[in-house]
Amino acid sequence: MAKLELATLLDKYDLIQEKFEELDYKIDNLIEHIPGVKQMLAIKGVGRDTVAGFFAEVGNLQDYSHPRQIIKLAGLSLKENTHKGQTKITKRGRKKLRALLFRVCMIMVAKNSAFKALHAYYTQRPDNPLKKMQSLIALCNKLIRIFFAIGKKQFEFSEERMLKDIPHMRANIKGEIAA
């Protein structure tokens, strides 16, 4: 009986593996037709599952006129609690999208030099430093803006250009070049 049960479990495992391979093939076929996906996949730290999950939650980027709409959809908009004097995210939105973006931002802080530099700046700046979690939420918003721009205009992502576009990071880059 134990041998029969083991054989049945192995058959189930093989069937599940086949289904996962089919699903991977379908995902690859679907996302290759979406404009801007190749450029998004070129970003260090962003993978196929991330891009597929982003588009599964957001849908067509042509339906949005501004990245703030996607930020609100994800529930990453800021809300101030007047009684406590704190500002937090609303969490009124798509939980899966929020979780996906947060996990990706954690990976990007570890692997992508531009996001690592931005995270270090946010957490160590002299005036109003952010806590690590707040910094990651700010980076999630930044990633949404990047995905939105790439999806609309299909341009290549450049870490140096992203850091130059941020005024406080521009001074840091000039200081590094001079040193």
pLDDT in tens, 75-87: 888 777 767 767 7
> Which residues, other chains included, contact 35 with Cβ-Cβ below 8 Å and sequence gap of 6+?
151, 154
Main-chain phi, psi angles of 34, to 5 degrees: -85, 130
pLDDT, mean of residues 7-23: 96
Q: What is the pLDDT of residue 4?
A: 95
Q: What is the pLDDT of residue 170?
A: 62
Number of H helices, E strands in the chain: 9, 2
